[in-house]
Structure 1
Amino acid sequence: MGRRKKMVEHVTELMDKPEFIRNIGTVAHIDHGKTTFSDNLLAGAGMISSELAGEQLFMDFDEEEQRRGITIDSATVSMVHQYEGQDYLINLIDTPGHVDFGGDVTRAMRAVDGAVVLVDAVEGPMPQTETVLRQALRENVTPILFINKVDRLINEIKLTPADMQMRLGLVIDKVNKIVKGLKPNDYDRLKLDPTVGKVAFGSALNNWAISIPYMKKTGIGFKEIIELCQAEKQNELAIKCPLHVVMNDMIIKFLPSPVKAQQERIKVIWHGDKESDIGKSMINVDRGGKIALMITDITTDPHAGEVASGRLFSGTLERGKEVFISGMPNANRIQSVGLFMGPERIECEKIPAGNIVAVTGLTDAIVGSTASSDKSMTPFESIRHVSEPVMTVAVEAKHMKDLPKLVEVLRQVAKEDPTLKVMINQ
């Protein structure tokens, strides 16, 4: 309990310093290792046991996710990492990889500024890799690359150091080809260049990662990696080049803070007057400005009711403040504000701009709506989903007395997931 309380205190201290915040998401094809990867970052931050990292799947806390062994809903967690003597707050969203839950990825990309793209070293980039990259780049999100399951190239495919380098080079080239095809004008800035450190290789399950700059720093090369993997000493690799250190350093060095990101992202996701007070406030991440909140997710808490979460681009949220939901006539009063720590919601007194927040009391909110203290604010651009509904299902109540309950549940589900279209025949 003491460690957890200390972590929460540390997180709340850093919330107020947007230059030291990184809002990131993990994206990948299904089963390429996102949730296992997230476990490693959480273990490095002291939030779960390092022995369980890679096996606990902390972010898959829903019963259905545990039963199926896949991520269904995006999950958010805040943690602290020290880089070059400075503490940084990393707000991480672990997204689903299955195409059926692609709407969650699209919505998560609106809340983050950077993305860790994971690719299986054996399978290489898959169709969903391209889809999630498209979703990220459309939202002006900056990517870095982690090539996972490298130990399989050694122990299963038995590649030599030269062959392994060639195989990894091909994976990087394929991902860069996708980036260039989607953002040709921005390719020089977005190119995933392993020589500068925008690419890492490793095994999330075995808790290790390495990048070319880290190879130079530690003296560990492909030859040593192959020898240790073949000798079943990957635990030594996890000590010499722990995944959480290598990847969090990459995240902080190459992915932008809200201060830098919002200068560019606001131009893409908001089409109001950039010279207006609220426009300037969002571009400058002004905690003293009017509230501008983009709601990207709604969940139901059995005790607190509906919890709306999303990215706060401007202003400060605190209990008792009134905000207007886009398209609704009356104000909603904020009941509580907080942060998500996986399955838990930690309440805070107030949260300033630049953070991913969880709010109760916004009864009129639906996923994709804009909440602001300025009733006349131009809403954020609507979230465009890559996939459209492809299946129609008719449901009816077995007993007429249950019809109101069914209608209520269907309306709630449609509110939480805009990719689901609900039509009720009255």
Structure 2
Amino acid sequence: MTLRNIAIIAHVDHGKTTLVDQMFRQSGAVRDNQRVAERAMDSNALERERGITILAKCTSVMWKNTRINIVDTPGHADFGGEVERILSMVDGVVLLVDAAEGPMPQTKFVTQKALALGLRPIVVINKVDKPDARSDEAHEEVFDLFAILDATEEQLDFPTLYAAGRDGWAVTHLDDERKDLSALFDLIVQYVPEPAPMRDKREDMPFAMLASMLERDQFLGRVLTGRIEQGIIRPGMTVKAINLDGKLAEQGRISKLFSFRGLERVPVEEARCGDIVAIAGLQNATVSDTLADISLTQPLPSLPIDPPTLAMTFSVNDSPLAGREGDKVTSRVIGDRLLREAEGNVAIRISESDERDAFEVAGRGELQLGVLIETMRREGFELSVSRPRVLFKTDENGNRTEPMETVMVDVDEAWQGIVVEKMSLRKAELQDMRPSGGGKIRLTFSAPSRG
């Protein structure tokens, strides 16, 4: 059996979830009448309502003699704290683009990360059966986007498929017979390389894996997901966690080892290098830590966790209407819930506030914190929240620094002066100006978060 690891990228409502549902059905991962497959990648209620991917997820399908691990990627920048580490688990990406709309902002964010890591893309022009589809123009816009994002010549020579995810077919040419997704499956197997650890034959080396995702399970505790970079792992093995500084974070035994089979995370007795697995049994290890055999002393190279840029104060609800909407109203239960969130979501940091019965919650953006607030509200929590505030830091010279954001604006050429003027009022500095295709100009600014 061979193995392929891919990530799938798409903007909101471009048909990613529908296409993946069809991949599950046609590969035999689920039955045609199995309703659990509907919008399988959007398993979170808020994801279904808002139409965005919030949580990264791993699934897999079998095609002939190849197992294809699929990693779903968050598209919004607020949930991009893990994007680089998620993409480090895969060896290729499938970029899904609506035939009518072409590349959109959330497409560009993750695609830029993927191209920077050297991943070769497969482009799928979706919804070509729509009346307003413009497949050729969308293809050209994707090429222009890759060129703007400084893709290599190899990445610019990408294969393209035309598809209708709702109907479950993909073809190489628009006049080909439209029957199923076999063209997509075959292209993934032929075009995406084997995982690097398998190509380099690292199976006989001591076990090492970089933790790329973390979640909290009420029965298993911490569950760490990543790609095995070398060696073989089995349940019961003793491993240690090494942080980015090379220091020992923890040593313990693997209690459970999981691999991904379709929609399920199933226990296995052995996993080899190149596979994406989930491990339970460690209590302190976190994202970016190296899980390794006890004989290893050096961590695998990894990017540090992006620091928070905004903070809000969460406190008990002290209004006259307190206790009418929820049943979890005390500071103790609110604090416990926030600490559980921080354990599974490494992009959020929790600390006690100077105010009484209050906690400071820091994250990457307002959308990320807003999703946390809405999730807690639906769980029956009542709380008061402050307005977001920017987190400032002091450097080694005693100077106060603030987080800066890169803002990219695509605008018609006639309006670029107005945009530059408005951004300048918010203390943004123009860094770059270049054509963006379709008669538009792309303006790149460096702006303070408080702008």
Give the equivalent residue in structure 2 for 1:234: none
Tell me the number of residue pairs that the alignment of Structure 1 and Structure 2 aligns: 340
Query: What does residue 321 of structure 1 align with?
Result: 237
Structure 2 Cα separation of the partners of residues 174 and 371 of structure 1: 41
Aligned to 2:282: 362
Secondary structure of 1:30 counterpart: coil
- Report if aligned partners of 1:78, 1:89 keep a CA contact under 8 Å in 2: yes
Q: Give the superposition deviation at 1:35.
A: 1.4
For 1:414 and 1:75, the matched residues in 2 are separated by 18
CA distance in 2, matches of 1:146, 1:53: 25
The answer to whether the 8 Å contact 2:206/2:296 transfers is no
User: Paired residue for 1:257, among 194, 212, 217?
Assistant: 194
**Aligned counterpart, 1:382:** 303
- The reply on whether 1:412 has 2:340 as its aligned counterpart is yes
Q: Distance in 1 between matches of 2:199 and 2:3?
A: 16
CA contact (8 A) 2:69 2:260 kept: no
For the 8 Å contact 1:210–1:246, the answer to whether it is kept is yes
- What SS does the aligned partner of 2:211 have? strand
Instruction: For residue 88 of structure 1, report the CA deviation from its aligned partner.
Output: 0.7
Name the CA shift for 1:180/1:403 in 2 (closer, same or farther; >3 Å). Answer: same
2:312 counterpart of 1:393: yes
TM-score (norm 2): 0.68
Choose between structure 1 and 2: higher strand proportion. 2
The Cα offsets for residues 223-246 of structure 1, whole Å up to 9 and x where unpaired, read as xxxxxxxxxxxxxx6xx4312x11
1:300 and 2:216 aligned: yes
Q: 1:128 aligns with which of 106, 119, 133?
A: 106
Residue 397 of structure 1, CA deviation: 4.5
Query: Following the alignment from structure 1 to structure 2, what is the Cα–Cα distance between the partners of residues 58 and 380?
Result: 32
Aligned equivalent of 1:205: 166
Q: Does 1:113 align with 2:91?
A: yes
Say yes or no: does 1:174 pair with 2:174: no
What are the Cα deviations for residues 340-393 of structure 1, in whole angstroms up to 9, with x where unaligned? 3465320000111100001101212112222111441133221565xx745421
SS in 2 for 1:257: coil
Aligned 8 A contact 2:6 2:90 in 1:
yes
Q: SS where residue 60 of structure 1 aligns?
A: coil
Point out the more displaced range, 53-62 or 29-38: 53-62
**Equivalence for 1:33:** 15
Could you tell me which runs of 5 or more consecutive residues in structure 2 were left unpaired when the two chains were aligned.
319-327, 355-451
Q: Which residue, out of 18, 23, 27, partners 1:45?
A: 27
Larger Rg: 2
Deviation at 1:329? 4.5
Amino acid at match of 2:101: E
Q: Which is helix-richer, 1 or 2?
A: 1
Q: Give SS of 1:136's match.
A: helix
Q: Which amino acid aligns with 2:20?
A: S
Out of 53, 59, 66, the residue aligned to residue 77 of structure 1 is 59
TM-score by length of 1: 0.72
Q: Secondary structure at the match of 1:48?
A: coil
SS in 1 for 2:146: helix
C-alpha separation in 2, matches of 1:425 and 1:283: 50
Looking at structure 1, the residues matched to 346 and 80 of structure 2 have their Cα atoms a distance apart, in angstroms, of 12
The answer for the alignment partner of 2:183 in structure 1 is: 246
Deviation at 1:339, TM superposition (A): 1.3
Shift of residue 101, structure 1, vs aligned partner: 2.7
| Equivalent residue, structure 2, for 1:149 | 127
DSSP-derived class of the 1:409 partner: helix
**Alignment-derived partner of residue 309 in structure 1:** 225
Q: How far did residue 314 of structure 1 move?
A: 0.6
In the alignment, residue 298 of structure 2 is paired with which amino acid? Answer: M
> Structure 1 unaligned runs (5+)?
1-13, 15-19, 158-163, 222-236, 263-281
Moved more, 38-47 or 340-349: 340-349
- Give 1:331's aligned residue: 251
Q: Give the Cα–Cα distance (whole angstroms) in 1 for the partners of residues 34 and 21 of structure 2.
A: 8
CA deviation after TM superposition for structure 1 residue 178, in Å: 2.8
C-alpha spacing 1:405/1:379, structure 2 compared with 1 (3 Å): farther
Does the residue aligned with 1:423 lie in a helix, a strand or coil?
Answer: strand
Cα separation, partners in 2 of 1:421 and 1:178, compared to 1, 3 Å: farther
What's the secondary structure of 1:394's corresponding residue? strand
Partner of 1:57: 39
User: What is the alpha-carbon root mean square deviation over aligned residues?
Assistant: 2.8
The alpha carbon displacement at 1:317 in A equals 1.3
* TM superposition shift of 1:249: 0.7
State the 1:255 CA deviation.
0.9
Q: Is the 8 A contact 1:307 1:360 kept in 2?
A: yes
Task: Tell me if structure 1 keeps the 8 A contact 2:59–2:264.
Answer: no
In structure 2, the residue matched to 1:344 is 264
Contact 2:4 / 2:91 at 8 angstroms: preserved in 1?
A: yes
Deviations, residues 392-422 of structure 1 (Å, cap 9, x unaligned): 2111356999545444433332333332233
Residues 285 and 354 of structure 1 are in contact (CA less than 8 Å); yes or no, is this contact kept in structure 2? no
